[in-house]
Amino acid sequence: MGSQKGEIAKDSKLSRALNAESFSGMSNALVGDIVDKYENLFYDLQEDLDKSDLNFLFRTYLSQIIVLTAMTFIGITLVTATVLIMVDLNFLLSLVLMIVVPILGTSIFFVLFYKYPSMNASSRAKNIEKNLPFALNQMSAVAMSGVSPSKMFKLLQNFDEYGELSKESAKIINKVELFGSDVTTALSETAQETPSEEFKEVLYGMVSTIDTGGNLKEFLDQRAESALFDYKLKRKEQIERLSTFASFYTALLIVAPLFLVVILTVMNVVGGELMGYGIEQLLRIGVYGGIPVLNIMFLIVLEVTQGDF
């Protein structure tokens, strides 16, 4: 009896997956119940999704990851098997590769998709904190006229220059105007969802100031001054790091290659070989291959370490 019920449930799940109108619907039908059962194990993903603003339900996103991971494992396994048949390696090495390659490839795929909301949330946090000092200055100036906090955020909502901070402001306005929340509730809820710790502190500070009847303009003045000081300090440190990078670039990617090109040119006139290669051949490899590759690597390191300066 129990096995019959299990088979009926499986048939129902499969039929719902086959009749789904989208990949997300198919994923939910196939593994949605498994996600519901073990959702507590993925609390960090749920939190990152809320902060990333990706507009995915936790159940749908994790279901899609699981299904895509399974498809990736099958695909990598088939490709690996095909390649191994074609190259005809010994049995032991083929067996090791058949086990390692699919597991490694699938693991990388899973980790990348699992961590993507966290990376997106981190990127949003940096964008918010970059624009926060200027937004606080504007809010402080507006607070002087005695307008309500919701009007301040409505004003920020219309400034696309503030990037992700405008989106966070829009969330507060939606909670107030569409869902009927009071201002302090909207601020508290947004503080729980925002990826930026600095913006979270500002929102909770505003809630505390409003609840205790404090001077909101004075609070915003203090926060704006503090945020602007931190912003200037970070920019100064960043400029110093860029100066160091510039020195490394000049020494390693301008002076050193130029020096090597001159030496190899002189050696080419004299004639001979170096490490089994002709001098002219080494020159071509260095000029058309080595120098461009090193420059690209430097740009990648600069982008990763410095971000959107």
DSSP 8: H
What pLDDT, on a 0 to 100 scale, did the predictor assign at position 1?
A: 46
Low-confidence winner among 5-9, 83-87, 236-240, 288-292 (lowest mean pLDDT): 5-9
Across 41-65, average pLDDT: 89
Q: What is the largest CA-CA distance in the chain?
A: 90
Domain that holds residue 134: 125-231
Same domain, 135 and 161: yes
3-state class (DSSP) for residue 207: helix
pLDDT above 70 for 309: no
Asked whether residue 149 falls in the same domain as residue 97, the answer is no
Question: Tens of pLDDT along 194-238?
Answer: 999 999 999 999 999 999 988 888 999 999 998 889 888 888 888
In a shared domain, residues 224 and 252:
no
Q: Indicate the DSSP class of residue 162.
A: G
pLDDT band for 5, please (50, 70, 90 cuts).
very low
pLDDT the model gives residue 198: 92
Looking at the structure, tell me whether residues 215 and 240 fall in a common domain.
no
Q: Last residue of some domain: 89, 122, 155? A: 122
Domain boundary among 91, 122, 153: 122
Residue 66 has pLDDT above 90, yes or no: yes
The reply to whether 116 and 23 lie within a common domain is yes
Q: What pLDDT, on the 0 to 100 scale, is given for residue 231? A: 86
The pLDDT, as a whole number, for residue 254 is 86
Helix (H) or strand (E) holding 263: helix 256-270
Tell me what the mean pLDDT of segment 150-162 comes to: 87
**Rounded distance between C-alpha atoms, residue 137 and residue 128, angstroms:** 14
Q: Which tens digits make up the pLDDT trace of 240-272?
A: 888 888 888 888 888 888 888 888 787 777 766
> Total structural domains in the chain?
3
Q: Are residues 52 and 136 in the same domain?
A: no
In this predicted model, what pLDDT tens digit does every residue of 96-108 receive, in sequence order?
A: 999 999 999 999 9
Least confident span in 53-57, 120-124, 264-268: 264-268
| Same domain? 81 vs 181 | no
pLDDT score recorded for residue 308:
57
Judge contact between 156 and 162, C-beta under 8 A. Answer: yes
pLDDT at 170 exceeding the cut of 50: yes
Supply the pLDDT for residue 2.
46
Query: 122, 143, 169: which is the final residue of a domain?
Result: 122
Residues 137 and 76 in one domain: no
Mean pLDDT for the chain?
Answer: 85
Q: Tell me, yes or no, whether 85 and 53 share the same domain.
A: yes
Mean pLDDT of 87-114: 90
Does 76 have pLDDT greater than 70? yes
